[in-house]
Amino acid sequence: MTTDSQTANALARAIKYCGKNQREIAEEIGFPKPNIISMMKKGDTKIPIERIPALAKACLVDPIHLLKLAMEEYHPEIWDVLVKAFGEPLTSNEEDMVGAYRIATIDDDIEITFDRFALVLASLTMDIGETEKPEAW
């Protein structure tokens, strides 16, 4: 069952693939009954913002991504102010990419040219199963 709620749909997918049942998830995040998890994944009730970090952890998903979905859906005006004030938050994958860049530039900053940008983009979007390196390598 899908709903118009992107947040509920994301939660439903997370629950489906995390390997835990709703009772286990409810217990992990401090809800006494699993029916609240069912209500959130169907979009019948909103995910409490303060429970998003624990819920994301229980479902093995990025808390920033789930928080972003929820805030854009539930509180778009507040989210817009936060993004304007602090910038778009990084997901854990994006933080890893920034970390990789910092490692690569430990001795000197690397100028981001179009060719370098295109090479990085090509390497990020190639299939993991590919054995050949992108042409620019």
* Residue at token pair 């409490």: 48
Q: Do the domain assignments include residue 34?
A: yes
Name the pTM for this structure.
0.73
Report the domain count for the chain: 1
pLDDT of residue 83: 96
Assigned token pair, 14: 């997370």
- Does residue 48 lie in a domain region? yes
Contact predicate 26/34, CB 8 Å = yes
* Span 46-66, pLDDT tens digits: 999 999 999 999 999 999 999
Cα–Cα distance measured from residue 47 to residue 99, given in angstroms and rounded to the nearest whole number: 31
Residues 6+ apart with CB under 8 A from 131: none
Express each pLDDT in 3-23 by its tens digit: 899 999 999 999 999 999 999
Asked whether residue 50 is assigned to any structural domain, the reply reads yes
Domain assignment present for 135: no
With respect to residue 76, please indicate whether it lies within any of the assigned structural domains: yes
Q: What is the CATH number of the domain that holds 25?
A: 1.10.260.40
Is residue 11 in a domain? yes
* Residue 59 covered by a domain: yes
Question: Which band of pLDDT confidence, cut at 50, 70 and 90, is reported for residue 116?
Answer: confident
What the block records as the tokens of 44 is 């019948």
Write out the residue range of the structural domain in which residue 59 sits.
Answer: 6-86
